[in-house]
Structure 1
Amino acid sequence: MNAVTPIHASLTGLDGFRVEIDSARERADVILDRPPMNTVAMAQRDQLRKVFEALDEDDRVRIIVLRAVGEHFSSGGYIKGFLEASPEHVSKLAWNIAAPARCAKPVIVANRGYTFGVGFEISLACDFRIVSETCQYALPEQKLGQIPGSGGSARLQKIVGITRTKDIVMRSKRISGQQALDWGIATECVPDGELEAATDRLVDELRSFSPIAQRTAKKLLNDTEDSTLAIAIELEGHCYSRLRQSDDFREGVEAFHAKRAPQFTGR
């Protein structure tokens, strides 16, 4: 990467992860870094939410990448922390882990090795999941006498349906990177040594589009996931009409006719 700068000074002392911003590439990386398995502590979940919210407001950033140091993305949460946390704290877990989905900007996650529990759940909240062939997804909470508590089973069911979700959740079954691709969980599956390059390519591709069109598409798709077809089409029409008034749409049309690359500004 090019020169990187840290996240806003008000978000210091991050627990088990760090943030790097590459202004030249309009990219922010949220990097899980708690060797050897990148377990996610209870306090870390709230910090992750705050970081995603801060990056959403950072004008230097167009694309957010969630990744991890080492051979495993995350083995899941810090198990003992669940017994120590108050019921009120635990009730906020799903809201914190849903931060990538609420973020207006595109969020990519790069998964390799163990991606279990909350590691899988926060990955499901991202827009694009690039996985290596070593990736193993799992929601193993049944082995603890529990169920997923941060949106995992709900998000997964939307993607793969109730039959496959029961197979994964109720049997604590592991899903390989290739199977995740085949089932529509993963966006792309690549050899382990190519994970970073594939992530970089997607960042550059997404940066070539209009920021306002990207934000509109993400919000529309998220908002209409549970709506009827008629409502989804109606909302799509309103969003389309609004974007027709944007500078980026005019630039896109003019660039198309001039056979040149568009210079989008996000307005």
Structure 2
Amino acid sequence: MPSSYTFADPRLAKLDGFKVEIDEAHERADIILGRPPYNVVAMPQRDQLRLTFETLDEDPRVRIIVLRGEGEHFSSGGNIGGFMEASPEHVSKLAWNIAAPARCAKPVIVANRGYCFGVGFELSLACDFRIASETTQYALPEQKLGQIPGSGGSARLQKMVGITRTKDIVMRSKRISAKQAYEWGIATECVPDAELEKATDTLVDELRTFSPLAQRTAKKLLNDTEDSTLAIAIELEGHCYSRLRQSEDFKEGVEAFNAKRPPRFVGR
């Protein structure tokens, strides 16, 4: 059964608007946004979320990280008043905090339902897998405030769906349904609302069957080569392949394949 996660870092002694649970049996940690009904993300919460991802990334008990929200909405976005109170220097660092799931070496799954707006959408875009309930609505509504997305939202979205669709979403503060997000390649899966938790559990269990080392390598390679030329991407892929060729996990994978048995990966 999942239990509350205990942090050694005093900066995480009292979590601001979220909680963390660990399920050691399934090598899983859940970060749960906890300000229902809309799970508004406060300014200090962004710093804590970054620290949380960094801590879980170093925890050997955790293979997979799941980000989700309490209630019917993932997050309606950030606390608007907090932007006026924060210094320009602090605001300029917001994208670094929200990019923590992408920097994390371990696979990160986000389970979306209901509103997924503003920083809620940007945080989701930084994750590796987005499982969307059919109730999910995605939006970057900052134009309505006389602003633009400031935590990587428009940049990540443009890489996924292109400039035309991104302009349509950002410049019109347009809401995108879960079905549309899936068809456009924003969401990994689109499932009935009642099946969101089951779909998340299934993906966690699937990812745990692979080599942790191969998973970390694939994630970093794909992130690092997103903006590179094809020639450089192929070159880096070859170097990563060669390094994994020397790993215990690759040896185990080959032996298990030949013996027609499930592999027992250890992450080395």
Partner of 1:144: 145
1:231 aligns with 2:214: no
Counterparts of residues 35-114 of structure 1 (less than 5 Å): 35-114=36-115
Are the counterparts in 2 of residues 71 and 112 from structure 1 also a CA contact under 8 Å? yes
- Matched residues in 1 for 2:46 and 2:173: separation? 22
Partner of 1:8: 7
1:198 aligns with 2:199: yes
Partner of 2:119: 118
- Matched residues in 1 for 2:141 and 2:2: separation? 39
Q: What's the CA shift for 1:8?
A: 1.6
- Matched residues in 2 for 1:194 and 1:7: separation? 29
- Matched residues in 2 for 1:102 and 1:261: separation? 30
Q: What's the CA shift for 1:93?
A: 0.2
Partner of 1:135: 136
Secondary structure at 1:64 match in 2: strand
Q: How many residues align?
A: 266
The alignment's C-alpha RMSD in Å is 0.6
5+ long unaligned stretches in structure 2: none
Counterparts of residues 236-251 of structure 1 (less than 5 Å): 236-251=237-252
* Residue identity matched to 1:7: T
* Residue identity matched to 2:47: D
TM-score, normalised with respect to structure 2: 0.98
Q: What's the CA shift for 1:9?
A: 3.5
* Residue identity matched to 2:180: Q
Q: What's the CA shift for 1:228?
A: 0.1
- Matched residues in 2 for 1:7 and 1:158: separation? 36
Q: What's the CA shift for 1:7?
A: 3.4
Structure 1 runs (4+) deviating above 2 angstroms are: none
Secondary structure at 1:67 match in 2: strand
* Residue identity matched to 2:97: N
- Matched residues in 2 for 1:19 and 1:12: separation? 12
- Kindly provide the CA deviation profile for residues 24-78 of structure 1, in whole angstroms up to 9, marking residues without a partner as x: 1100000000122000000000000000000000000000000000000000000
- Matched residues in 1 for 2:15 and 2:3: separation? 17
Partner of 2:221: 220
- Matched residues in 2 for 1:5 and 1:135: separation? 27
Q: What's the CA shift for 1:152?
A: 0.0
Q: What's the CA shift for 1:12?
A: 1.5
- Kindly provide the CA deviation profile for residues 204-248 of structure 1, in whole angstroms up to 9, marking residues without a partner as x: 000000000000000000000000000000000000000000000
Partner of 1:260: 261
Are the counterparts in 2 of residues 48 and 96 from structure 1 also a CA contact under 8 Å? yes
* Residue identity matched to 1:228: T
- Matched residues in 1 for 2:68 and 2:37: separation? 14
Are the counterparts in 2 of residues 52 and 103 from structure 1 also a CA contact under 8 Å? yes
Are the counterparts in 2 of residues 32 and 38 from structure 1 also a CA contact under 8 Å? yes
Identity %: 82
